[in-house]
Amino acid sequence: MPRKPKLKENGMATRSQTEALFRPSDEMVEALDQVFEEAVRKEIIVDSGKRKWSERTGRYEIIWKSKLVQ
């Protein structure tokens, strides 16, 4: 059984502890990638041409745009 993380004096988790709790697993990321690929194939979403820097991945990420809602 994993140990509980040590909390700060005020009882709150640190930012890195919180991020680790909510970081998606590799399987979740792969499943989401497959969903996006299928949505692109079906032309439900398109690349908006915009990018946003992701601190988590350390790279620019595509901002998708829905073709269903204009």
In a domain, 46, yes or no: yes
Whether the pLDDT of residue 41 is over 90: the answer is yes
**pLDDT tens figures, 28-40:** 889 988 999 999 9
Specify whether the CB–CB gap between 52 and 29 falls below 8 A: no
Specify whether the CB–CB gap between 45 and 66 falls below 8 A: yes
In a domain, 29, yes or no: yes
d(CA 7, CA 17): 9
Parent domain of 43 = 25-66
Q: State the pTM of this model.
A: 0.55
In a domain, 40, yes or no: yes
Total domains present in the chain: 1
pLDDT at 60: 94
| 50-54 mean pLDDT | 94
d(CA 31, CA 47): 19
In a domain, 12, yes or no: no
pLDDT at 44: 93
pLDDT at 16: 73
In a domain, 34, yes or no: yes
Torsion of CA 17, 20, 22, 28, to 10 degrees: -170
pLDDT at 23: 76
